Chains A and B, each alone.
Chain A
């Protein structure tokens, strides 16, 4: 124990804020760290389930990161993976039950993917890489930031796919369906892209996002 009194770091110091803002761009969990792709692609057919999924992951990442970080000195390193799995599984069961209780339709659409949050690599990755070494407050922010970074990509892909799909509208949570492509276009013979609602389009739209991001930021390019 060192005797010197460390000056308390302010809660929203620039260093802590960076934990939230970095995952939006140069440390994005999906496009840069390549974590948590499975669920990101599968739930993006429509905007609303994607939004719910993003909320669930943000909640599990932030709360789980805090719990792991509080426990970090008491977890024996040999069984840490099991402890992390138990924490995630508990939180995911809670999220699943809440979804079933309050928005049953969305929970049906998400089907197995709520359960798959357990093996979502973002969570285990962040617990292992960040929460095991850091104090609860930064860990909470880190979980929040990574959840937001994940959610951002999810919402972008979902919006892209739903706007270009044959319906040409966007189902916003709490607002209902909003028509994006005006009816006049359809009258003139515009046809939505049926491909957009099929699975391969999710991969291609993530690839486009990666392309745009990496051509703007050359540090991220692989050689």
Chain B
């Protein structure tokens, strides 16, 4: 129940895009059609489920203060916390590469639909943001971290699909010229953000 609560919370209440503006660059660039945005959304969920737990383990057993105590008592006061940025980004980059190779080998059909998005994801802030939030909120167990990874990725996907659907329709409306494209997308995102704030305080 706790985990399900966390899942709902990370999708709706702490939505990556509407509450923290994480992953906005690709969100703005790829949300022109629903089809491609679903592709990118699935790729983000996919990579998020893998990288957040892996980074959780690395953080727990290598990086936090006292994490190295399993090596022996003399390592108990080593704190490698300052290395976390470079470790996380290296793990994300290599994981994305691995996932890309694995998907290409085992499921060419999936590779064809996700292929172009996977390399983009290594520098998507949603992925690094997920790992950094995981570290900052100090999740206790692997299950919590995985559920958070899944939920935040899913929330990002929901956001990009909603806005892509609206953008497809808005091409037929008469938007003031200077606002066309980028400006109106910002305003739409703001309005959806206001709508999403009504989820605040929901507890299951």
Contact = CB atoms under 8 A, between A and B. Distances in A.
B25 to A, nearest CB: 5
Contacts of A163: none
B92 to A, nearest CB: 9
Interface string A122-133: 001000000000
B194 to A, nearest CB: 5
Contacts, number: 134
A213 B183 CA distance: 10
B133 to A, nearest CB: 6
Interface residues of B, number: 46
A206 B88 CA distance: 30
Nearest to A112: B132
A222 B125 contact: no
Nearest to B23: A38
B179 A85 contact: no
Interface of B is mostly: helix
B181 interface: yes
Given A34-B28, A42-B21, A115-B128, A222 B186 contact: no
Contacts of A124: 123
Contact of A34 (B25, B132, B136): B25
B132 A115 contact: yes
Contact of B82 (A82, A97, A214): A97
A203 B189 contact: yes
A210 B25 contact: no
Interface of A: 31, 34-42, 81-82, 85-86, 89-90, 92-93, 96-97, 111-112, 115-116, 118-121, 124, 198-204, 206-207, 210-215, 221-223
Given A89-B89, A199-B21, A203-B190, 7 more contacts: A38-B25, A85-B89, A93-B86, A112-B129, A115-B84, A116-B129, A211-B183
Q: Top 7 A-B pairs ranked by shortest CB distance?
A: A222-B181, A214-B178, A203-B190, A200-B193, A207-B186, A112-B132, A37-B24
Interface of B: 18-25, 28-29, 82-86, 88-90, 93, 122-125, 127-129, 132-133, 136, 176-184, 186-187, 189-191, 193-194, 197
